[in-house]
Structure 1
């Protein structure tokens, strides 16, 4: 019986240490994409978020690849970042339905930080775009190259059903059936997506990353276990001195 309290104390201290270590690991969330809609043919605002740098190094640039089936993108101006649309040639020019020929599309959107984003601080990047029509069930990937002051992280690996999540998964969305209410837009790929006034557009973050929630839960658990450990340690010492 004399050894029971010290053993419990060591166990509690160990558990508290493990939970404290788990908190920063859980906070290392992937780059994620949150759509306002996934219906084929709909106009959406797709919001990308990141909460960490490259192994602790501050983020200086986020470059988002746009799938070939998306022909036009309107990036939201983000305070503290400059933004650039990078055009690429279409393999086959298409008619926009008004007698004009479209020969290029936005292949990438690149945000560059005016001041590097420190590791552990969260920011979001919102793109207005139109999803391709008649693409129900298709998965669209948006690989993101995260460049930091030291090193870079290429979030470009495909997530495959039935397999373990890759180490560096590309953000993606899976298109659902068209709802018939695509905000009045045509279902042709050549239709120009809706634009917005960059001076009033607001990128609204509609979700809280599950990894952030897990980190908070683990962090709170670590504090509780740590407090219990201190009480047990004090109690053990008092019993030993009696």
Structure 2
């Protein structure tokens, strides 16, 4: 085997490893790109604290603001004060909060997690599903997280899904005096778990890395047989 041929085989093997490593890093990032809400379930007539979080910008541009539109069916909305965000509240003709804009005091880099929260109250007429369309503004560009899944459609298949909270029937005897605190704790725990890992992204990324190393092994074995 000529030296040029051996060099070409080793170069192809290196490209295989590089491609696998790139897939391992890129796939989790793509799979985890969304604006999530925690908790994603509340009971009719309940009160809770919703936390909206993200760990990405608009491609590589830092996040400057989140504008969250309120769905119909909320009895009350109270944005949580946060020194990292300036808060602007919009109200409809009925006096109820219709949208809340959180503007970052300092743009949130694409590799850091950002989060905002608000207290919400539900009444007996709240629908089964509450969608919160979000517009993520960045230093360059913006992303509208406003898509809603059709009946029977997997929301994870959407490119830019809106955060959604499911509303369940109230438990017998009411929702309990500590419901709001418990919801806030659950929201923080769920958000932390989401920020730590995305099972689908990790699995696909690991597969890409394994494929890259497999390409290297095959190339080395072929090189030894022909040496």
Give the TM-score of the pair, scaled to structure 2. 0.74
Q: Which residue of 2 aligns with 1:162?
A: 152
1:183 aligns with 2:176: yes
Q: Which residue of 2 aligns with 1:220?
A: 206
Question: Does the 8 Å contact 1:64/1:144 carry over to 2?
Answer: yes
Alignment equivalent of 1:209, drawn from 194, 201, 214? 194
Taking the aligned partners of 1:31 and 1:146, their CA distance within structure 2 comes to 9
How do 1:43-192 residues align onto structure 2 when only pairs under 5 Å count? 43-90=47-94, 104-135=95-126, 138-163=128-153, 165=155, 166-179=158-171, 180-184=173-177
When the two structures are superposed, what TM-score results if normalisation uses the length of structure 1?
0.70
Answer whether contact 2:73 2:123 (CA < 8 A) is retained: yes
Q: Tell me the distance in 1 between the aligned counterparts of 2:170 and 2:109.
A: 40
Q: Is contact 1:70-1:129 (8 Å) kept?
A: yes
Larger helix share, 1 or 2: 2
> Aligned in 2, Cα 1:157/1:225: closer, same or farther, shift over 3 Å?
closer
8 Å CA contact 2:90, 2:97 repeated in 1:
yes
Can you list the C-alpha shifts for 1:52-77, whole angstroms capped at 9, x where unaligned?
Answer: 21132211101111123224222223
For 1:150 and 1:70, the matched residues in 2 are separated by 33
Q: Assess if the C-alpha contact under 8 Å between 1:143 and 1:156 holds in 2.
A: yes
Q: Is the 8 A contact 2:34 2:54 kept in 1?
A: yes
Label 1:139 to 1:20 Cα distance change in 2 as closer, same or farther (>3 A).
same
How large is the RMSD of aligned CA atoms in angstroms?
Answer: 3.4
State the alpha-carbon separation in 2 of the partners of residues 22 and 153 from structure 1: 24
Q: Which runs of 5+ in 1 are unaligned?
A: 1-5, 91-103, 186-193, 196-200
* Length, aligned pairs only: 208
Unaligned runs of 5+ in 2: 1-7
- List aligned pairs for 1:15-30, cutoff 5 A: 17=19, 20-21=22-23, 23-28=25-30, 29-30=33-34
Range with bigger deviation, 210-219 or 168-177: 210-219
CA distance in 1, matches of 2:15, 2:139: 37
Structure 1 residues 86, 183: closer, same or farther in 2, change over 3 A? farther
